[in-house]
Chains A and B, each alone.
Chain A
Amino acid sequence: MNRYPRWPIHLALVVVSGVMLVPFYWVLKTSVSGENIYAYPPSIVPARIHPFFYVDVWYAIPFARYLMNSVVVSAIAVAGNVVFNAMAGYALTHGFRGKGFVVLLFLTCMMVPFQATIIPAYLITGRLGLLDSWLGLALPQCSTIICIFVFKASFDAVPRSLIDAARIDGLSEWRIIWHVMMPLSKSAIATNVILAFIWSWNNFLWPLIMTRTADMQTLPLGLARFLSYQEDTTGALYAFCIMVLAPGLLLFLMAQKEFMRGLTSGAVKG
């Protein structure tokens, strides 16, 4: 390995990290101090820090309701993802007639972005009578193809001897999934949970289309409405941003490895 100086690399990476972090710092600073909304030139370090914009946001909009909506929808989506994807992934580890067709179907579905389906998806959900409900919000997100393949790869790695032993013991296929495969696939489950949660938590377009009443809105909708309703004239908007970013950020920091690994194993969802 040839020697090359390390410090230019560090310098470049520090600069890039700064570029990535400055927007965070800026919005955090304004959310706790309310400066730089009207003032020019902007100050780098806040003069007075107070958390009262967060209190304002909590009471100005039904934040608790939006939070609950987001949490419930994400919970349904995550649960659906784990169960349905595990089932589908397990089915794909066997060979059966029509398996090639199914895999091809999945791959082509990955190429269809959600935005190209919004009109019929809305009409279908309307026909099902699920408009403006938690189930309707969560249903399109209850299964994702990347996660099916993540489970399949994880199940493929389970040694055949274990499965055969379980079959000899008389376990049905269903119980094989839950008692043999899943305990050995902790990281696949973690990847599924994290990807499903982040995608459903951040989803903006589907709730925008789907919800008819203000009561059923989720956090991204609440944030966009807050912007148009209050303009960006108070620190409360930025406090709202921070409150909305915090759960996603926290989950990401807790589970980075699983997140990145899940995304690189064939990610085409975006």
Chain B
Amino acid sequence: MATLRRVLANRFVLVPGLLAIVVLAWNAYVFTHHHGIVAGRVVDQAGRPVGGASVALWVYNFTTYEEKEHVTTDHDGTFRFTNNPSHRIQVSAEKPGVGRSERVPVFLYFRSQDIDLSAPLRLAGAG
């Protein structure tokens, strides 16, 4: 038992061991959270949820962002993409008559990370 403790306390075992544990834990997290789900809300300038707005997902491709997918928000203003392939994306929303939002960049920690956007997309200006 004492030799086991001495082996573990050796820095050449401790440091790589800790690194291995961190790597394994990270990989486990990635494995359980990489479905490519991007969810969020759309609101108008007053903060009221906007239903039926068209939301676009832009995917980074070497030098520019390209539009990849469109979904429409539900009546309570929420939207949900389900197969985002990339780690660097933008989302934007618009609804004719209400306005359009900026292209909000979203940086993820790994490809297809599931994410719930905290700040809602704000529509501004008249369509």
Indicate if A touches B (C-beta under 8 A).
Answer: yes
* A59→B111 contact, CB < 8 A: yes
Q: Judge whether A50 and B15 touch: CB under 8 Å.
A: no
Contact check, B107 vs A250: say whether CB atoms are below 8 A apart: no
* Chain A residues with CB below 8 A from B108, complex form: 55
Between A and B, 21 residue pairs with Cβ closer than 8 Å are: A50-B107, A51-B109, A52-B88, A52-B107, A52-B109, A55-B87, A55-B88, A55-B107, A55-B108, A55-B109, A55-B110, A56-B87, A56-B88, A59-B87, A59-B111, A190-B12, A250-B15, A254-B11, A254-B12, A254-B15, A255-B12
Interface positions of B (Cβ within 8 A of A): 11-12, 15, 87-88, 107-111
Residues of A contacting B87 in the complex (Cβ-Cβ under 8 angstroms): 55-56, 59
Bound Cα distance A254, B111 (Å):
33
Interface residues on A, range: 10 to 19
User: Given the complex, which residues of B lie within 8 Å of A255, measured CB to CB?
Assistant: 12
Residues of chain B within 8 A of A250, CB atoms compared:
15
Most buried by B among A51, A59, A190: A59
Q: Which of A221-257 contact B (CB under 8 A)?
A: 250, 254-255
Least distance between A34 CB and chain B CB atoms (Å): 11
Q: Which of A86-144 touch B at CB < 8 Å? A: none
Bound state CA distance, A50 and B108, in angstroms?
11
Chain B residue at minimal CB-CB distance from A55: B87
Whole-angstrom distance between the alpha carbons of A56 and B109 in the complex? 9
Rounded to whole angstroms, the CA-CA distance of A254 and B13 in the bound complex is 11
Q: Which residues of B contact A59 (CB under 8 A)?
A: 87, 111
CB-CB under 8 A from A190, the residues of chain B are 12
Closest 7 CB pairs of A and B: A52-B107, A55-B87, A254-B11, A59-B87, A55-B109, A254-B15, A59-B111
For A52, give the chain B residue with the smallest CB separation.
Answer: B107
A254 partner residues in chain B, CB cutoff 8 A:
11-12, 15
Q: Which residue of B lies closest to A53 (CB)?
A: B107
Output the least CB separation between A51 and chain B (Å).
Answer: 8
Residues of B within 8 A of A55 (CB): 87-88, 107-110
